[in-house]
């Protein structure tokens, strides 16, 4: 069985960064964080043109908890920075920075 160690989250936004949504990618889970980082530029390149702005982040995932995550939260800050986190019952367990202010996507 393959263990997930990283998740690639890709978000597309309008020019004004006020309308953002998750974009699907062919591969969004990876066995290592490094594999996610290596794939990220290719995934972002493939999605250029689908929305005016495309951004993506890799989130490290604890393989022991991979089936327990119940929320993927993200926000795009006014400066264009994507902030994302994975949570279990409201407890932050993985993040690429500060905790997002509100849930935009819930699994």
CB atoms within 10 A of CB 100: 23
> What is the predicted pLDDT for the residue at 106?
35
What is the pLDDT, as a whole number, of residue 97? 59
Please report, for the chain, the start and end positions of each structural domain, with discontinuous segments joined by +.
Answer: 6-95
Residuewise pLDDT in 10s, the chain (107 residues)? 356 788 899 999 998 888 999 999 999 989 999 999 999 999 999 999 999 999 999 988 877 766 666 678 888 887 888 888 877 776 555 556 555 554 444 33
In the chain, the N- to C-terminal Cα span, in Å, equals 22
Sequence-ordered list of residues with C-beta below 8 angstroms from that of 98, at least 6 positions apart, any chain: 83
pLDDT at position 102: 47
d(CA 25, CA 41): 12
Q: Which pLDDT score is estimated for 53?
A: 93
pTM, 2 dp: 0.76
């Amino acid at each position: 069985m393959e263990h997930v160690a990283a998740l690639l989250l890709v978000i597309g936004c309008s020019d004004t960064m006020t309308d953002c949504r998750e974009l699907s990618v062919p591969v969004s889970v990876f066995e290592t964080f490094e594999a996610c980082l290596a794939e990220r530029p290719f995934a972002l390149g493939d999605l250029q043109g689908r929305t005016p702005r495309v951004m993506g982040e890799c989130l490290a995932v604890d393989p022991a908890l991979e089936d327990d995550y119940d929320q993927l939260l993200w926000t795009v800050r006014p400066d264009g920075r994507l902030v994302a986190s994975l949570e279990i019952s409201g407890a932050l367990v993985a993040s690429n920075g500060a905790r997002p202010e509100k849930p935009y996507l819930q699994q």
